[in-house]
Structure 1
Amino acid sequence: MKEGGNVSLYIADFRSLVSIIGDWGEKALIHHFRKGLPSRSLDQLASYPSIIDSLEDLIDITMELDTRYHERKNEKSHHQEQKPEASRSNSSSSSQKKKNFQKRDNPILLN
């Protein structure tokens, strides 16, 4: 699977291959499944708190982690899109304040 590939499609393809080749044994299937995952998924699995003993558990956890990854990626993307708008409105309001300050007709005199 390519680094930016879709984990869901990889899982579907992997399951199709397993149905064709038959049972290689749980450990061998886990090994080959992990081998095809992108490094981001392997990094997420490395920090997973428990040992994963079955292929189905590994697939379920990988799907869950990948879903969370994409949700967070979308949040970041959405946040990045909104950030320039906020900075533009802040800069325009501060420049407006400067103009208002400079437009005073009557200077303030301090005695």
Structure 2
Amino acid sequence: MDAWATSAAGPDEILTGGTRPVFTDLGLHTGTILDQPGALAATASLRRTDQGPAQRIDRMHWTPDLALALLGIDALAPGWAVKQTPVGKQITCTLPAPNLLNV
């Protein structure tokens, strides 16, 4: 049997497509309208080499009017977190530190 893959983009296209979309994809809006291409970064934490490159699979949708209030999105790899500080954003790793002594 030959293996094959198909995109499950149908529901996303129904919600965000057409001449008057019901919702706006916030990552796409941020990456294109707000010119912040990092918002389109891959979000898949599990990746199989037989399924192609890592892709943005996590999506958030708002109504188009509310999307106009969006200032930006930070797409981070699993195990990383963003914290707003008085001087800017602080990105930290939330994964446990490796124990290099017990190899």
Q: Same fold (TM over 0.5)?
A: no
Return the structure number with greater strand share.
2
- Pick the structure with greater CA Rg: 1
Return the structure number with greater helix share.
1
Give the alignment's TM-score, normalised by structure 2.
0.28
